[in-house]
Amino acid sequence: MSAEHLIGCHDCGCLYHREPLNSCERARCTRCRHELYRWHAGGPLRRADSLVALTLGAVLVYLLAQSFPIVTLELGGMATGATLLRAVAVLWDAGMQVVAAMVLLCAIVFPGLELGALLYVAIGLRRGRRVPGFDLVLRVVQGARYWAMTEVLMIGILITVIKMTSLARVVPHPGLFAFGVLTILCALVMRYEPKALWELADRLAPRPRQEAGAYSVAHAPDSLVSCRACGLVNGHPWQRSKDGVCHCRRCGAALHRRIPNSIGWTWVMLAAATLLYIPANLLPVMYSRMIGGGAEGDTIMSGVLLFWNTGSPGLAIIIFIASIVVPVSKLVALAWLNATAQLRSRAAPLARTRAYRAVEFVGRWSMLDIFVVALTVALVRFDALVTITAGPGAIAFGCVVILTMVASHQFDPRLIWDPIESNGERHV
């Protein structure tokens, strides 16, 4: 049997023979319950049609969302409004380049890069061919998708709008509704995983036999390596470059049995995030300057209390969970996972794997507070009455979010299962 008939589990490294699925079925790993692959309605061409339609719609809505103002505030005969790009520009001009860069990348660049690259690939698949740079583009989609935070931005917009109703009259604009539609479309586009698109391409536009490479898997398990990018299980002889690094036969990504220096780099990221979490909570994330008064600083916790005391307990709870509970939980959970992996603990591997998945899922939601700060600073620009600017706490908190996301991405969950079996992998 060729390696194309094998599939490796992302979370525990277990190897399986790929089996056909019936309608609406999903294949899961028997050890860690990770979803390996799922059944898709229609044939390959129909799936390509659906991907083109959804992605094209998302790209058009994305352009509308970035072009029109989100809302306008009216106060004392003055009006102010802002697009997302305007919010980035205001933060940059105010000396908050780090926060501006975070908002620019996570809310504008990475979502646009993901949708544009996906549309480029989808159009080629619809025509039954691989576009130039197919493998590299799909790997770009993978990276951009991890950092694109459209759904978090949408919740941040809603919180900002509700918050502004107590200060001024809020007038919605097309950008607000466009972001709502974009969030839904992005959720639908997320169903098309890059790994599934590599398999779809193998059906619609197979590679030449000599390029794809044929080899037997009649080797020991330690001779097989599953590619973290496209999911292909690679067997001997591996494709090596001049520097001696092994590369995947299908997508060209570097092959590693485990992420290099995973435990060490995770500790470094966690240590930096822990140190920055202290000033992130002690320093103001925003300054409010009222007419005839000085600047008043608001920390994350004071913002939570403000929402609670002004009759918005729901928003207070959301911000408290996203800005306080989630970061602390991530730091504690990742430290626990990394320590137990380093000690090669055999205790509760399934529970630890589920904890890792929870950390991966909730990691991005801590950016909620950064988006609220950016939109608030951009909208409240009534120079004669009140002005809100970002504070140093926002920079520290944003760095905490980024560092914890990098730490969770750097941690290799397969290390949890390595002590369970000698090589962490097996055939089923």
pLDDT tens, 73-82? Answer: 887 777 777 8
What tokens were used for 93? 């001009």
82-98 pLDDT tens trace: 889 988 998 888 888 99
Ranges of each domain in the chain: 1-42, 48-203, 262-421
Amino acid at 124: G
Q: Rounded to whole angstroms, how far apart are CA atoms 315 and 313?
A: 6
pLDDT for the residue numbered 240: 58
Total residues belonging to the chain: 428
pLDDT for the residue numbered 132: 92
How many C-beta atoms lie closer than 10 Å to residue 37's C-beta?
Answer: 19
Asked if pLDDT for residue 352 goes beyond 70, the answer is: yes
Place of tokens 């770009």: 140
How many C-beta atoms lie closer than 10 Å to residue 394's C-beta?
Answer: 27
pLDDT category at 216 given cuts 50, 70, 90 is: very low
The answer for residues whose C-beta is within 8 angstroms of residue 229's C-beta and 6 or more apart is 138, 139, 142, 194, 195, 248, 251, 253
pLDDT for the residue numbered 186: 93
Cross-strand pairs, 225: 234
Give me the percent of the chain exceeding a pLDDT of 70: 87
pLDDT for the residue numbered 184: 95
How many C-beta atoms lie closer than 10 Å to residue 75's C-beta?
Answer: 16
Q: Average the pLDDT over 36-56 and give the result.
A: 81
Q: Rounded to whole angstroms, how far apart are CA atoms 77 and 130?
A: 57
Q: Tell me if residue 141 falls in helix, strand or coil.
A: helix
pLDDT for the residue numbered 262: 94
308-325 pLDDT tens trace: 887 778 878 888 888 888
pLDDT category at 400 given cuts 50, 70, 90 is: very high
217-269 pLDDT tens trace: 444 555 688 888 888 888 765 555 555 678 888 888 888 888 899 999 999 99
108-129 pLDDT tens trace: 999 999 999 999 999 998 888 8
The answer for residues whose C-beta is within 8 angstroms of residue 308's C-beta and 6 or more apart is 316
Q: Average the pLDDT over 44-71 and give the result.
A: 90
pLDDT for the residue numbered 237: 57
Residue 256 sits at φ, ψ, to 5 deg, of -140, 135
Higher-pLDDT residue of 333 and 420 is: 333
Nearest Cα residue to 404 out of 229, 269, 228, 225: 269
Q: Average the pLDDT over 379-406 and give the result.
A: 82
Amino acid at 211: E
pLDDT for the residue numbered 417: 92
Asked if pLDDT for residue 26 goes beyond 90, the answer is: no
181-198 pLDDT tens trace: 999 999 999 888 888 888
pLDDT for the residue numbered 108: 95
Asked if pLDDT for residue 426 goes beyond 50, the answer is: no
Q: Tell me if residue 297 falls in helix, strand or coil.
A: strand
Give me the percent of the chain exceeding a pLDDT of 90: 39
The answer for residues whose C-beta is within 8 angstroms of residue 240's C-beta and 6 or more apart is 246, 247
In CATH terms, the fold of domain 262-421 is: Butyryl-CoA Dehydrogenase, subunit A; domain 3 (1.20.140)
Cross-strand pairs, 7: 16
Q: Give the distance, in angstroms, between the CA of residue 119 and the centroid of all CA atoms in the same chain.
A: 19
Looking from the CA of 180 toward its CB, the CA atoms found within 13 Å total 8
Q: According to the per-residue pLDDT averaged within each range, which of 71-80, 168-177, 287-296 is highest?
A: 168-177
Work out the mean pLDDT of the chain and round it to a whole number.
Answer: 84
Amino acid at 244: G
Q: Tell me if residue 402 falls in helix, strand or coil.
A: helix
Q: Average the pLDDT over 294-320 and give the result.
A: 79
256-289 pLDDT tens trace: 888 899 999 999 999 999 999 999 989 888 877 7
pLDDT for the residue numbered 118: 94
Nearest Cα residue to 404 out of 276, 314, 255: 276
What tokens were used for 5? 């008939």
Residue 38 sits at φ, ψ, to 5 deg, of -135, 165
pLDDT for the residue numbered 211: 52
CA distances from 110 to 116, 118, 171, 249, 278 (A): 10, 12, 28, 27, 29
Q: Tell me if residue 348 falls in helix, strand or coil.
A: coil
pLDDT category at 422 given cuts 50, 70, 90 is: very low
Residue 117 near residue 135, CB atoms below 8 Å: no
Q: Rounded to whole angstroms, how far apart are CA atoms 17 and 7?
A: 6
